[in-house]
């Protein structure tokens, strides 16, 4: 009897970093690994024209590596177009998913409405998905703990292993059994930066036969965490001496909590001169409460460095942290002239409360702005970093006098050395397929791994692997 065919179609995040999605077909099941949103370019037009290259109703199972929108953002569209199976993810991801999807779809709908206002009504673009689709998506979610094994059908099982990337991030390990032959397929999702705080180390793919892995930073390493924290500490000291505030645009999930952790570390070392820390983002506050819920799963060694006091609440990690949920509380921050750190979204300054703070702080040379995340082309954050002056915010021209800093050491992704180390934990003879990276980064990583004698391919979109 011939062995069952196993077929993997590489669909998204092929030779680029967004739209993670791959289709595994085996033993009569069609399983989607991630269902991410392609990002960049004219997002409204791209979504209006978007078509899945498979029938969403034919998919039995989705396994989600983590909640980032480039891995999860098209789930509501999949559901809207007929998906009626199970979406498996970790329990952390299951709690984060509605928060992130609501934010993403909310921004999409607002952008679309703004865009349609300038269009004759006959040509208005209709939304391809909306908030009811987000609610329906949650109904299909089945939350799993790390490392529990789920049998999908005879001969096919999987487990989710910690990827150390963001809260709830997982490596998907699939086991395929055909007669006496067993093969293990590992999909890395996004792999964490071993230096980043609060997350655990990624589980190694020891018994993998096939690895589909990300290569976002396949061509470089990150700065060390010690350098980053020293630089951060210096900026805080300078701001205190100069009599101004520090404003930090940060992503609601991950980076905001990481910044709070570093501030807590400095606070307990007696090295934090500021008296008030504000987390001024309703979404980041929601995420903080999810961090509290999963406090026991965070990296306990990192937590022990901050405080000897046992606390099960993430928000209590930093005693001077204030959570400002309402817009009145947010506006009140503007009355504080110095001694405060304000963490607010959006991370790239293309919306959110940070813009209101910028209207007050950018024109004042006492204040400091610290960029702790990637700033994409076309965003206000990028324009500021590139030295544009003046800048436009909400229609007003603002002359930038505040002191701007970029802290490059924060990254939730493994650097090149970490990627190579993770990949090489696999047994000899393992085959590698590199995805989720710009072509240059993937080629450099390919050469690195091939140098060690590994078989490494960079699949193109729609490429099919049979084994």
Q: Where do contacts with Zn ion occur on this chain (CB under 5 A)?
A: 68, 190
3-state SS class at 441? helix
3-state SS class at 341? strand
Which tokens sit at 125? 């673009």
3-state SS class at 47? helix
Least separation in angstroms between residue 163's CB and Zn ion is 9
Nearer to Zn ion, 168 or 249 (CB): 168
Least separation in angstroms between residue 66's CB and Zn ion is 6
Least separation in angstroms between residue 412's CB and Zn ion is 7
Which tokens sit at 81? 């177009």
Least separation in angstroms between residue 206's CB and Zn ion is 23
What are the residues whose beta carbons fall under 8 Å from the beta carbon of 280, sequence distance 6 or more?
324, 329, 330, 333, 342, 343, 344, 353, 357
Which tokens sit at 57? 């109703």
Nearer to Zn ion, 201 or 307 (CB): 201
Nearer to Zn ion, 72 or 416 (CB): 72
Closest CA to 101 of 55, 80, 126, 70: 70
Report which DSSP code applies to 223.
Answer: P
Q: Please give the angle made by the CA atoms of 93, 34 and 177, to the nearest 5 degrees.
A: 105
Least separation in angstroms between residue 321's CB and Zn ion is 25
Least separation in angstroms between residue 202's CB and Zn ion is 12
Nearer to Zn ion, 162 or 190 (CB): 190
Closest CA to 86 of 155, 122, 15, 32: 32
Q: Please give the angle made by the CA atoms of 191, 192 and 195, to the nearest 5 degrees.
A: 150
Nearer to Zn ion, 68 or 255 (CB): 68
Nearer to Zn ion, 257 or 324 (CB): 257
Closest CA to 86 of 97, 95, 75: 75
Nearer to Zn ion, 91 or 190 (CB): 190
Indicate the pairing of strand 181-187 with strand 170-178: antiparallel
Nearer to Zn ion, 85 or 192 (CB): 192
Least separation in angstroms between residue 259's CB and Zn ion is 18
Least separation in angstroms between residue 251's CB and Zn ion is 11
Cis-peptide into 100, omega within 30 deg: no
Nearer to Zn ion, 203 or 341 (CB): 203
Least separation in angstroms between residue 214's CB and Zn ion is 8
Nearer to Zn ion, 116 or 299 (CB): 299
Rounded to an integer, what distance in angstroms lies between the CA atom of residue 89 and that of residue 69?
A: 14
Q: Which 3-state string (H, E, C) describes 138-189?
A: HHCEEEECCCCCEEEECCEEEEEEECCCCCCCEEEEEEEEECCEEEEEEECC
3-state SS class at 193? coil
Least separation in angstroms between residue 219's CB and Zn ion is 18
Gyration radius (Cα) of the chain, Å = 23
Nearer to Zn ion, 85 or 168 (CB): 168
What are the residues whose beta carbons fall under 8 Å from the beta carbon of 410, sequence distance 6 or more?
196, 228, 255, 258, 372, 373
Nearer to Zn ion, 24 or 170 (CB): 170
Closest CA to 107 of 279, 286, 373, 345: 345
Is residue 345 within 8 Å of 318, Cβ to Cβ? no
End-to-end CA distance of the chain: 16
Which tokens sit at 109? 């709908």
Least separation in angstroms between residue 436's CB and Zn ion is 9
Rounded to an integer, what distance in angstroms lies between the CA atom of residue 64 and that of residue 177?
A: 22
Least separation in angstroms between residue 20's CB and Zn ion is 8
């Amino acid at each position: 009897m011939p062995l069952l065919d196993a077929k993997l179609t590489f669909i998204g995040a092929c030779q680029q970093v967004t739209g993670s999605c791959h289709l595994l077909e085996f033993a009569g099941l069609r399983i989607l690994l991630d269902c991410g949103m392609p990002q960049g370019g004219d997002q409204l037009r791209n979504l209006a024209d978007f078509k899945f290259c498979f029938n969403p109703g034919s998919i039995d199972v989705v396994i989600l590596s983590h909640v980032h929108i480039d891995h999860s953002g098209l789930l509501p569209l999949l559901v809207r177009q007929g998906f009626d199976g199970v979406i498996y993810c970790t329990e952390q991801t299951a709690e984060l998913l509605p928060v992130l999807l609501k934010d993403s779809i909310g921004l999409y709908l607002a952008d679309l409405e703004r865009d349609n206002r300038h269009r004759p009504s006959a040509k208005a673009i209709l939304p391809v998905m909306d908030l009811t689709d987000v609610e329906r998506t949650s109904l299909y979610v089945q939350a799993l703990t790390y490392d529990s094994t789920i049998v999908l059908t005879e001969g096919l099982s999987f487990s989710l292993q910690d990827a150390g990337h963001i809260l709830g991030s997982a490596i998907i390990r699939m086991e395929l059994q055909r007669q006496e032959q067993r093969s293990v397929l590992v999909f890395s999702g996004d792999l964490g930066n071993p230096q980043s705080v609060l997350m655990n180390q990624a589980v190694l793919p020891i018994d993998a036969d096939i690895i589909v892995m990300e290569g976002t930073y396949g061509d470089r390493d990150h700065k060390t965490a010690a350098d980053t924290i020293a630089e951060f500490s210096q900026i805080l000291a300078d701001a205190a001496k100069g009599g101004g505030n520090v404003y930090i645009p940060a992503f609601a999930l991950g980076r905001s909590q990481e910044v709070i952790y570093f501030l807590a570390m400095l606070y307990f070392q007696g090295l934090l001169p500021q008296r008030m820390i504000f987390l001024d983002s309703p979404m980041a506050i929601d995420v903080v409460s999810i961090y509290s819920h999963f406090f026991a799963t965070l990296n306990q060694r990192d937590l022990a460095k901050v405080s000897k006091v046992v606390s099960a609440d993430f928000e209590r990690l930093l005693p001077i942290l204030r959570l400002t949920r309402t817009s009145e509380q947010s506006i009140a921050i503007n009355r504080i002239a110095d001694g405060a750190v304000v963490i607010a979204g959006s991370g790239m300054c293309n919306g959110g409360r940070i813009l209101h703070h910028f209207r007050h702080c950018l024109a004042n040379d006492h204040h400091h702005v610290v960029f702790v995340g990637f700033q994409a082309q076309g965003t206000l954050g990028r324009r500021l970093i590139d030295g544009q002056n003046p800048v436009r915010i909400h229609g007003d021209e603002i002359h930038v006098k505040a002191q701007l800093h970029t802290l490059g050491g924060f990254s939730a992704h493994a650097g090149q050395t970490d990627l190579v180390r993770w990949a090489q934990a696999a047994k000899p003879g393992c085959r590698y397929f590199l995805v989720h990276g710009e072509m240059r980064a993937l080629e450099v990583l390919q050469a690195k791994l091939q140098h060690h004698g590994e078989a490494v391919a960079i699949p193109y979109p729609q490429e099919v692997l049979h084994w």
